[in-house]
Structure 1
Amino acid sequence: MHKLLVLYPPPDDPAAFAEYYEKQHLPLVQKLPGLLGWRYSLQVHAEPESPYFAVFEAEFADAAAYAAAMATPQGEAVRRDVPNYATGGAIVLDYPVAQS
């Protein structure tokens, strides 16, 4: 299993981020080939305060499947769309998941 984790710092306009993210960006994400599952939250909490506004997680079979998905036109569309809503930027991490 290979995971994608995207951490979003606070945007300039949280309501605009949420609306665009849910109505425009996530439908693009759903078109990624090889995507096994995904989830997100716009309610990220931490003590004493979270440096992130939102988080997104996705699963792929392995690193090759993730790389292949991101190399497709759908992957390019997802990447190009991020500046349209993530005015606070985005931290993108991907990693293999160790199983015990």
Structure 2
Amino acid sequence: MTITQTLTRPASLREYQQRQREIQIPIIAESIRHGLTYQVQPSDLFISPYGKCGTTWLQQIVHSLRTRGDMEFDDISRVVPWLEMAHRLGLDL
């Protein structure tokens, strides 16, 4: 993608989708590679709700149980990270 493309609005939905893929695919692929190299520890707990069925809510519940109600954090994804997104957030699992 050229600098001119990043500074102009997409002319069509197709162009918008293409730009989005050019940006997201390398980032997602790198995050997945890091997730696949993760070494599971005996104390790890994985939560896996069905998509769009309360993932954030379940993260909040698990964190609350794990910390005995301590809800002092700025973003739930930093204290209960998604395995495939932790690297992108700069978290060292």
Higher radius of gyration, 1 or 2: 2
Q: Same fold (TM over 0.5)?
A: no
Bin the TM-score by the shorter chain.
under 0.3
Q: TM-score, normalised by structure 1?
A: 0.25
Higher normalized contact order (CA 8 Å, seq sep 6+, divided by chain length): 1
Determine which structure has the larger strand proportion and give its number. 1
Greater share of helix residues, 1 or 2? 2
